[in-house]
């Protein structure tokens, strides 16, 4: 039998779990379905999330979110929603083990960063050691005055290199596949800022003590931190399949109350265009949950 609830939250990262806390405290029957493996779960230690002097590992922070959601009455279940359809009473969501029917759905499905060409075990070891980093806004401070490289090109890679140049005088931008794809103006701006440009391909990574080696068009180089700037996969497929409006890159378009273009369907966190920060995702999750509560109330929903 389908599991009927008020609010279904797809994704158990900071946005989804914050929304779950709020929805549960609004006395909404709330379930979070989480496939695991989100960005926050892979953060070795975040230092810019307010309230945690000394920082906190991403998995520990998520565990606190989960415990708080559960103690307020939300349910958290593992699984991946493979199909989401609109029905008369709201939505039907299907996983491998269960079917949910919900009056409102929040997509907090996030994104997956594109990785450089390296083996998973090496990537994970480098990530844990702080040799691979994905978020200059989060941890540019941690590479202050270090020898830093960015794997990327084009306007996106150039912007990331310029951002990190404010933290270090030694910044290198390495093209991922071959020659750089940079306009003359961008190339001039980068070189005048002291950023070294190296053509790719970037491959054959190896950990060498406190540095990460990479083979480039100029031979093997080693850096104290490497930032991939290769874009990300936006997990908005469920909403787009329903007809929800999205930007060219895949991020869902929402109004000021976290509503997508599909009535009853909301979105928060990295799946929405924004700063991609834990604090921002939490705020969006709280906003979305409040919108869900108020919108359901407008549909003659009665408080218990």
CATH of the domain at 280: 3.50.50.60
Do 57 and 29 have their domain in common?
yes
Q: Quote the domain boundaries for residue 173.
A: 115-228
Do 34 and 137 have their domain in common?
no
Both tokens of residue 120?
């998973």
303 part of a folded domain: no
Q: pTM of this prediction? A: 0.94
- How high is the pLDDT of residue 3? 66
- Domain end, chosen from 228, 257, 273, is at 228
- How high is the pLDDT of residue 299? 64
- How high is the pLDDT of residue 303? 37
Alpha helices in the chain (DSSP H): 14-25, 58-71, 120-128, 136-139, 154-165, 184-192, 237-242, 278-298
- Domain end, chosen from 204, 228, 252, is at 228
Do 86 and 123 have their domain in common?
no
- How high is the pLDDT of residue 225? 98
Low-confidence ranges of the chain (pLDDT < 50): 301-304
CA atoms lying within 13 Å on the CB side of residue 302: 1
- How high is the pLDDT of residue 302? 42
11 part of a folded domain: yes
Domain count across the chain? 2
Do 121 and 223 have their domain in common?
yes
CA-wise closest residue to 153 among 135, 137, 174: 174
Do 135 and 195 have their domain in common?
yes
206 part of a folded domain: yes
User: CA-CA distance, 230 to 169, in Å (whole number)?
Assistant: 22
Burial of 303 (0-12, 13-18, 19+ CB in 10 A): exposed
Do 68 and 104 have their domain in common?
yes
- How high is the pLDDT of residue 1? 55
Do 256 and 240 have their domain in common?
yes
Do 9 and 107 have their domain in common?
yes
- How high is the pLDDT of residue 304? 34
53 part of a folded domain: yes
Query: Which residues have a Cβ under 8 Å from the Cβ of 285 and sit 6 or more positions away?
Result: 14, 15, 16, 17, 18, 19, 22, 106, 108, 268, 269
């Amino acid at each position: 039998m389908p599991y009927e609830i008020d609010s279904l939250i797809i994704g158990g990262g900071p946005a989804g779990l914050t929304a779950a806390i709020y929805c549960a405290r609004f006395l909404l029957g709330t379930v979070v379905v989480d496939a695991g493996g989100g960005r926050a779960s892979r953060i070795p230690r975040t230092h810019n999330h307010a309230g945690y002097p000394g920082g906190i590992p991403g998995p520990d922070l998520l565990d606190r979110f989960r415990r708080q959601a559960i103690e307020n009455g939300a349910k958290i279940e593992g699984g991946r929603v493979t199909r989401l359809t609109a029905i008369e009473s709201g939505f039907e969501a299907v996983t491998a083990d269960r079917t949910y029917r919900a009056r409102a759905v929040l997509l907090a499905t996030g994104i997956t960063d594109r990785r450089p060409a390296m083996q998973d075990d090496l990537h994970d070891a480098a990530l844990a050691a702080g040799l691979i980093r994905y978020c200059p806004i989060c941890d540019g401070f941690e590479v202050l005055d270090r020898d830093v490289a960015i794997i990327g090109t084009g306007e996106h890679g150039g912007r990331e290199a310029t951002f990190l140049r404010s933290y270090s005088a030694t910044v290198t931008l390495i093209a991922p596949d071959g020659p750089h794809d940079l306009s003359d103006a961008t190339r001039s701006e980068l070189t005048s800022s002291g950023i070294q440009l190296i053509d790719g391909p970037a491959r054959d990574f190896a950990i060498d003590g406190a540095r990460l080696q990479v083979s480039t068009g100029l031979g093997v180089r080693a850096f104290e931190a490497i930032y991939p700037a290769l874009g990300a996969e936006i997990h908005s497929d469920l909403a787009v399949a329903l007809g929800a409006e999205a930007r060219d890159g895949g991020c869902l378009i929402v109004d000021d109350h976290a509503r997508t273009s599909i009535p009853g369907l909301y979105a928060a966190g990295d799946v929405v265009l924004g700063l991609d920060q834990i604090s921002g995702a939490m705020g969006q999750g709280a906003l979305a949950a409040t919108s869900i509560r108020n919108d359901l109330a407008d549909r003659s929903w009665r408080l218990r």
